[in-house]
């Protein structure tokens, strides 16, 4: 068996729990500690960059949402304006169709030329009105009555002389 020093009951055991000497921490290699320090610094910088990118990403998402809401409201406004324009276009088309129908009912150039020839042929300026005809008839009747009276007078005078 191995030599294990006897421990005195009043003495504290030397070394480890089982009496072995605990190893003293070896000083770390200076290159390894520098590498660990560099890695820790790089990790910290990476975490800071990650946090900054996450904040930028959140800001971009918020901006995108606000722009999306604004764009959707503008689209709604444009949609209502397009609907109004379409309804006005339909009204204008209906009015144009009505005008076209009315224009089809109007006289054509050839019809007007024919009417003009008839008017020139008949010359309505020579026509008389009903009142004018009545006056002319009355004058003729008055003249005939006057000539009939003269003729009677003339016959009376003739009979008395002969």
pLDDT by residue (tens digit) across 87-110? 999 999 999 999 999 999 998 999
pTM of the model: 0.44
∠ CA 51-70-61, nearest 5°, is: 15
Both 93 and 122 in a single domain? no
Q: Is 144 a member of any domain?
A: yes
Both 53 and 85 in a single domain? yes
Distance CA 87, CA 84 (A): 5
Q: Is 68 a member of any domain?
A: yes
Domain that holds residue 123: 108-152
CB 58 within 8 A of CB 52: no
Per-residue pLDDT of the chain (162 residues; tens, 9 = 90+): 444 555 555 555 555 555 555 555 555 578 899 999 999 999 999 999 999 999 999 999 999 999 999 999 999 999 999 999 999 999 999 999 999 999 999 989 999 999 999 888 888 777 888 898 899 999 998 888 877 777 777 676 666 665
Q: Is 78 a member of any domain?
A: yes
Both 88 and 116 in a single domain? no
Q: Is 129 a member of any domain?
A: yes
Both 55 and 85 in a single domain? yes
Rg over CA atoms, the chain: 65
């Amino acid at each position: 068996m191995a030599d294990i020093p006897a421990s005195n009951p009043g003495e504290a055991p030397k070394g480890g729990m089982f009496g072995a000497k605990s190893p003293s921490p070896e000083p770390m290699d200076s290159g390894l500690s520098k590498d660990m320090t560099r890695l820790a610094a790089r990790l910290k910088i990476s975490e800071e960059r990650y946090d900054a990118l996450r904040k930028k990403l959140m800001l971009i998402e918020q901006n995108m949402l606000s722009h999306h809401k604004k764009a959707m409201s503008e689209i709604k406004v444009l949609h209502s304006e397009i609907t109004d324009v379409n309804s006005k276009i339909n009204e204008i088309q209906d009015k144009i169709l009505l005008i076209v129908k009315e224009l089809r009912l109007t006289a054509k150039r050839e019809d007007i030329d024919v009417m003009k020839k008839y008017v020139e042929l008949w010359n309505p300026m020579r026509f008389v009105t009903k009142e004018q005809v009545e006056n002319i008839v009355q004058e003729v009747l008055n003249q005939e009555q006057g000539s009939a009276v003269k003729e009677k007078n003339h016959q009376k005078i003739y009979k008395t002389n002969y």
